[in-house]
Chains A and B, each alone.
Chain A
Amino acid sequence: MPPTTAGPSSRSCMTGEEPTHSQKVKYFNIKAGFVNEHTVCGVAKDGKETLLSAEHIVIATGGRPRYPTHIEGALEYGITSDDIFWLKESPGKTLVVGASYVALECAGFLTGLGLDTTVMIRSIPLRGFDQQMSSLVTEYMASQGTRFLRGCTPSRVRRRPDGQLQVTWEDLTSGKEDMGTFNTVLWATGRIPETRSLNLEKAGVNVNPNSQKILVDAQETTSIPHIYAIGDVAEGRPELTPTAIMAGKLLAQRLCGQSSDVMDYDNVPTTVFTPLEYGCVGLSEEEAVARHGEEHVEVYHAYYKPLEFTVAERDASQCYIKMVCLRKPPQLVLGLHFLGPNAGEVTQGFALGIKCGASYVQVMRTVGIHPTCAEEVAKLRISKRSGLDPTVTGC
């Protein structure tokens, strides 16, 4: 997948809303870099160069998995999520390095397919997500057989004569070294934006020197007013497909003068498809407390048992929901966190509710659909502050 600059969206306005318009987009399979602030030069696979100029330029080159190149053998023997889905053979015994949602999702389904899977985490899992939820996510994974090496960081990967990979790591708390052998090492330590080959300096587009991401304002405008950046390549944006799609659409509409709506990056719902799915929208409990102060935040929560788990005798210790609200009536909902089967499907509708400015009371007045997991959201009666047992019993 060569990086491309979704480029000349210039004079002919494309909202991309009707299928017929797709034919009016010229597609170049070339690797683009800036020549100046209105011109990009594209190089095709055969080395042929094409010069393109446009009034407006949108950068949407995304990101690629990061290789920890400082680790011996990382590049030679490791793979990333770019490869895992295309492997011709089963990865076998796998070490997943990282604590991002990519790491946990991959480790989850590999374990689910019956592979011996270990996740090595340097500090905390799912940084940026609600930490109580993220520890429940990993707790469930551990109960399903995924091994976790916490507080560890790999130092080298070597190939043994039998073809297996020998990984050496350091335990950061004890300082001791340890090693293990794996068939596959999957790096999931983060993604880097595809900005280096764009020659952004020639156009004068500023990036964050640390993250290499492009700095943008609320209008998705870069430091150059007619150059925009959307999606994973832009600084401070959630790396989510539907967010990028909507940001792109709204940008096109603004460029064409159809509307002045800017993308609302708050209340973006998302779901981590770990073995027990985790859906969330709005603020994490930590973020809510940081923004509003603990005394102004009320958290309602419950452990519940999905009906399907009962007959199957599955453990539901981690099926958990919490709703983070302002404490002051009418207790505006700030965030919803749902851990359980079909979390994505459950979260979507509630995301709308939060967008509509739902209050705790309104959600509680919603009649449940029985028997579903989602109905438990409308039955959250116990606040953390009360100290009562949040375990749901009975129907």
Chain B
Amino acid sequence: MKSPGGQERPSSHARGGAGRRRGRGGASGGPAGLVGVRSYPFAGQFPAPPPASGSLNCPGQARSDTAALAQPPPPPPPPAQTSPGPVKMGAVPNRRLGSVRGVPMSSPPGRRARLSSPGTGRSSSEAREELRRRLLGLIESNRVMIFSKSYCPHSARVKELFSSLGVECNILELDRVDDGANVQEVLSEITNQKTVPNIFVNKVHMGGCDRTFQAHQCGLLQKLLQEDAAFEYDLIVIGGGSGGLACAQEAAILGKKVMVLDFVVPSPQGTSWGLGGTCVNVGCVPKKLMHQAALLGQALSDARKFGWEYSQQVKHNWETMTEAIQNHIGSLNWGYRLSLREKAVAYVNSYGEFVEHHKIKATNRKGQETYYTAAKFVLATGERPRYLGIQGDKEYCITSDDLFSLPYCPGKTLVVGASYVALECAGFLAGIGLDVTVMVRSVLLRGFDQEMAEKVGSYMEQHGVKFLRKFVPVMVQQLEKGSPGKLKVVAKSTEGPETIEEVYNTVLLAIGRDSCTRKIGLEKIGVKINEKSGKIPVNDVEQTNVPYVYAVGDILEGKLELTPVAIQAGKLLARRLFAGCLEKCDYVNVPTTVFAPLEYGCCGLSEEKAIEVYKKENLEVYHTLFWPLEWTVASRDNNTCYAKIICNKFDNYRVIGFHVLGPNAGEITQGFAAAMKCGLTKQLLDDTIGIHPTCGEVFTTLEITKSSGLDITQKGC
């Protein structure tokens, strides 16, 4: 699911957060402050004690290779700077963060200055930081990481060595990547070694070819390789939703040992479901199917106008619909399990909770506890609907968690909230013929373009959905039990002392969703959450403040709550962690659609946000009403469907906002989103031929600007 609130929020906090939590004392802020390669993992935490630093040096051998192996470990870092938690908690991740042995914590300023070209200093230093993080990620996530050049004979010897040991290694050929020279520079900052091959074993810098062979001869290499056994898994993903599963499967495809923990805590009404998360079970999938049920009802009434004659009275059967939808969901749940099995991902239907660093407790339905350890963790626990906190809400109200599998028709329904969940549910319930009221505290679809939001609402209002604006429920009382029963709702005006009372069969709460981040032991390992929202701040590579813990999906702070975004983020995360990929999830210009009775699709900025960012005088808004051809014969509303684009006058009239209200808005918006990725301008829209007769073609003939104030009602073809 998604939150409009996150739609356009920049994630500028991410980088700052990263710098803050990773920096060490005075060195923080500079690239060197981000050094995160540790010398040894968790000294003292795991039974196998790591060798003392001196033992890295093979007895009797000359220390000539690199300084990296020779220098003593850095002093213990200061306690966590920002975490309010106990010192002990903060200290652990910091120890981990330590530094590469022997690397000065700040690189010489002169060197950095050379690296940044004048004028672009900031972005180039950012790029440098990013590269560093990427390299550290590779080093962290691979048992053996070799930075090599494909033609280098020394590199070849090292590869042969590992191959003869039967050890899988990850190799980055610097001559085969675009930024190989930069990689080499950053590597030399990290390790003080300028040459390739540059080898890391279990996050420990080995050095070059000679060093590695020496380590092999004296047994150190084997010892280091064994250390990996400390963790049972390469990756444990907590939460088997869109993002979690995508990440887990991708990691498994990349040959990693992966576990997924998924456990659905039943809703207060007792509803629970299978593998796949919100989208599949209680989100996008069932809601689109119920939306389709409503559209079919509309199609039935249109059909008479198109000549279809039917005599039977048309009724809708809730149970038939729900059963069919639940069957489909069941097949998806099964499909996911199968897919995990095929990819050898361990799936455990248990509740995951951190108990200490790298260690998680999994509790199953029977209360049995099992402990698992992993090198890396991905949090993908998602969100659950919020309750009002008023008398009777948890006892008598349902949420979207319950609606899609409700065993009886909800009857007369009050939907509380103005989120897209609220409007979609209200829309399809009304569409299948129910008496529906939406109670709205303030604005509709907060975060979405408000002109569009009001149009979505007004279409619903014209089609039988009642709206109670500026009211909030204060009490829900059960008058009668039953399926459905009768509930009395008392609501209070947000503007005055007025209260109203009404009886409904069902009250559906859709006032927002809360992240499932407070009961998974994050405090035990020091992962920071936003105390207020429960969301998890991450940097632009989805990393939390604890470096081996990542997060994807709806629980991310300031990111979009959308299935395809979570999937993309999860996949790319796995590829970055385990395949040395660089690509980051792009949260800009993500399209989405609200499946209200009249669908609303959008991509890019709302008009309000565009004005805020670019100023009104720099924008041109083109818009028009349109009448879908299919609606003409059906005698449906003329001048209701609406198309709007927002262009930046000073950027070649680039389209920065795309909004469409009409049938199949989702299908229409997708392609335009792809075009926006490729730099769509008004001129290109004008130059493109329409597909006739469709709704989408309206965007190729937009001529009227909002500023002109001209009439946009439609006349003819």
Question: A residues near B, CB below 8 A?
Answer: 17, 19, 113, 240-243, 246, 261, 264, 268-271, 279, 307-308, 310-311, 341-342, 344-353, 355-358, 362-363, 365-375, 377-378, 393-395
Closest CB in chain B relative to A242 CB, distance in Å:
4
The 8 closest A-B pairs by CB, nearest first: A349-B671, A348-B696, A374-B670, A349-B672, A350-B671, A356-B678, A352-B675, A344-B694
Q: Is B667 located at the chain interface by the 8 A CB criterion?
A: yes
B669 pairs with A349, CB closer than 8 A: yes
Which of the candidate stretches B141-149, B276-284, B500-508, B512-520 sits at the interface with the other chain?
Answer: B276-284
Q: Which of B549-573 contact A (CB under 8 A)?
A: 562-565, 568
Smallest CB–CB gap between A123 and chain B, Å? Answer: 27
Q: How far is the CB of A313 from chain B (nearest CB, A)?
A: 8
CB interface residues, B 292-323, toward A, < 8 Å: 292, 307, 321
Query: Interface-forming stretch among B188-196, B445-453, B476-484, B697-705?
Result: B697-705
Query: How far apart sit A101 and B367, CA to CA, in the bound complex (Å)?
Result: 63
Q: Are B279 and A349 in contact (CB under 8 A)?
A: no
Q: Please indicate the chain B residues that have their CB under 8 angstroms from the CB of A243 in the complex.
A: 689
Task: Flag whether B692 is at the interface (Cβ < 8 A).
Answer: yes
- Within the assembled complex, what's the spacing in Å between the Cα atoms of A371 and B688? 27
B residues 320-354 near A (Cβ < 8 Å) are: 321, 324-325, 328, 332, 335-336, 339
Contact yes or no, B691 A271, CB < 8 A: yes
Q: Scoring B residues 686 to 717 as 1 if CB is less than 8 Å from chain A, else 0, what string do you get?
A: 01111111111101100100000000000100
Knowing A342-B664, A367-B590, say if A351 contacts B670 (CB, 8 Å): no
Q: Is the CB of A370 within 8 A of B562?
A: yes
> Is B381 at the interface (CB under 8 A from chain A)?
no
Which residues on B sit within 8 Å (CB–CB) of A246? 689
* Cβ A375 vs Cβ B564 within 8 A: yes
Are A347 and B564 CB-contacts (below 8 A) given A242-B692, A308-B292, A394-B339? no
A374 with B671: CB separation less than 8 A: yes
B336 touches A346 (CB 8 A): no
> Which of A240, A310, A345, A377 has most B Cβ within 10 Å?
A345
A356: which of B591, B684, B715 is its contact (CB, 8 Å)?
Answer: B684
Task: State how many angstroms separate the Cβ of B277 from the closest Cβ of chain A.
Answer: 9
Q: Could you tell me if A271 and B590 are in contact, using CB atoms closer than 8 angstroms?
A: no
Bound-state Cα–Cα, A243 to B687, Å: 11
Find chain A residues with CB under 8 A from B564 CB.
Answer: 367-370, 375, 378
User: Is B689's CB under 8 angstroms from A346's CB?
Assistant: no
A-B contact pairs, 11 of them (CB 8 A): A345-B695, A349-B668, A351-B688, A351-B689, A358-B675, A369-B591, A371-B284, A372-B666, A373-B667, A374-B667, A395-B336
Q: How far is B694's CA from A363's CA once the two chains are assembled, in angstroms?
A: 22
B284 touches A345 (CB 8 A): no
The reply to whether B671 and A346 contact each other, CB–CB distance below 8 Å, is yes
Residues of B within 8 A of A240 (CB): 689, 692
Min Cβ gap A290→B in Å is: 23
* Residue B545 interfacial (CB < 8 Å): no
CB neighbours (8 Å) of A271 from chain B are 691, 694
Q: Pick from B677, B688, B700 the residue with the most CB of A within 10 Å.
A: B688
Q: Confirm or deny: B679 has a beta carbon within 8 angstroms of a beta carbon on chain A.
A: yes
Taking the nearest CB of chain B, how far is it from the CB of A273, in angstroms?
9
A308–B289 contact, CB under 8 A?
A: yes
Chain A contacts for B685, CB-based, 8 A: 352
Could you tell me if B590 and A395 are in contact, using CB atoms closer than 8 angstroms?
A: no
Query: Which of A261, A279, A357, A369 is close to B592, meaning CB atoms less than 8 Å apart?
Result: A369
A246 to B686: give the CA distance in the assembly, Å. 9
> Count the B residues whose beta carbon is within 8 Å of the partner chain — how many?
61
| B213 CB to nearest chain A CB (Å) | 38
Q: Which residues of chain B have C-beta atoms less than 8 A from A363's C-beta? A: 674, 677
CB-based contact B667/A311 at 8 Å: no
Contacts of A346 in B (CB 8 A): 667-668, 670-671
Check A351 against B336 for contact (C-beta < 8 Å): no
How distant is the Cα of A316 from the Cα of B325 in the complex, in angstroms? 17
Q: Report chain A residues within 8 Å CB of B242.
A: 395
Q: How far is the CA of A365 from the CA of B678 in the complex (A)?
A: 10
Distance from B244 Cβ to chain A, minimum over Cβ atoms (Å): 13
> Which residues of A have CB within 8 Å of B691?
242, 269-271, 279, 344, 347-348, 351
A348 in contact with B697 (CB, 8 Å): yes
Chain B residues with Cβ below 8 Å from A19 are 715
Q: Which residues of A contact B674 (CB under 8 A)?
A: 349-350, 352-353, 358, 362-363, 366, 377-378
Question: Which of A242, A342, A365, A372 gathers most chain B CB within 10 Å?
Answer: A372
Instruction: Point out the residues of chain B lying under 8 angstroms from A264, CB to CB.
Output: 687
Given contacts A348-B699, A349-B673, A353-B678, 17 further A-B contacts (CB under 8 A): A242-B692, A344-B691, A344-B693, A348-B690, A348-B691, A348-B696, A349-B668, A350-B675, A352-B672, A366-B673, A369-B666, A369-B670, A375-B564, A393-B335, A394-B336, A394-B339, A395-B280
Provide the residues of chain A in CB contact with B597, threshold 8 Å.
Answer: none
Query: Is the CB–CB distance between B675 and A356 below 8 Å?
Result: yes
Q: Is the CB of B689 within 8 A of A242?
A: yes
- A181–B441 Cα distance when bound, in Å, is 67
Complex CA–CA separation, A371 to B329 (angstroms): 14
How far apart are B658's CB and chain A's nearest CB, in angstroms?
Answer: 9
Output the nearest chain A residue to B335 by Cβ-Cβ distance. A394
How far is it, in angstroms, between the C-alpha of A350 and the C-alpha of B703 when the chains are bound?
A: 21
Q: How far apart are the CA atoms of A348 and B671 in the complex, in Å?
A: 7
**B601 CB within 8 Å of chain A:** yes
The answer, among B591, B668, B680, for a CB contact under 8 Å with A348, is: B668
Report how far A139 CA is from B332 CA in the complex, Å.
28
* Chain B residues with CB under 8 A of A308: 288-289, 292
Interface-central residue, B288, B586, B668, by most chain A CB under 10 Å: B668
| Inter-subunit contact A358/B288 (CB<8 Å) | no
Closest approach, in angstroms, between the C-beta of B595 and any C-beta of chain A?
9
**B285 lies within 8 A of chain A by Cβ:** yes
Quote the shortest CB–CB distance from A29 to chain B (angstroms). 19
* Given A356-B675, A356-B680, A378-B674, A345 and B668 contact (CB-CB distance below 8 Å): yes
Nearest B residue to A273 via CB reads B693
Of A349, A366, A377, A394, which is within 8 A of B696 by CB?
A349
Cβ contacts under 8 Å, B307 to chain A: 113
- Complexed CA–CA distance, A271 and B307 (Å): 25
B593 within 8 A of A: yes
A367 touches B562 (CB 8 A): yes
Q: How far is the CA of A342 from the CA of B665 in the complex (A)?
A: 10
In the complex, chain B residues whose CB is within 8 Å of the CB of A268:
689
Bound Cα distance A336, B458 (Å): 37
Q: Are B292 and A311 in contact, with the CB atoms below 8 A?
A: yes
Q: Is B692 within 8 A of A369, CB to CB?
A: no
Interchain CB contact under 8 A, B593 and A372: yes
* Cβ–Cβ < 8 Å partners of A310 in chain B: 289, 328
Residue of A113, A243, A352, A358 with highest tally of chain B CB at under 10 A: A352
The distance in angstroms between the C-alpha atoms of A84 and B154, with both chains bound, is 78
Q: Are A352 and B568 in contact (CB under 8 A)?
A: no
CB pair A307–B667 under 8 Å, yes or no, is no
Of listed A307, A348, A371, residue having the most chain B CB within 10 A: A348
Bound form: Cα–Cα A366–B680 in Å: 13
Instruction: Give Cα A371 to B586, complex, Å.
Output: 20
Per the bound structure, the CA–CA distance linking A341 and B590 in Å amounts to 23
Which of A356, A375, A377 is close to B679, meaning CB atoms less than 8 Å apart?
A356
Q: What is the distance, in angstroms, from B152's C-beta to the closest C-beta of chain A?
A: 25
Most buried by A among B336, B593, B677, B679: B677
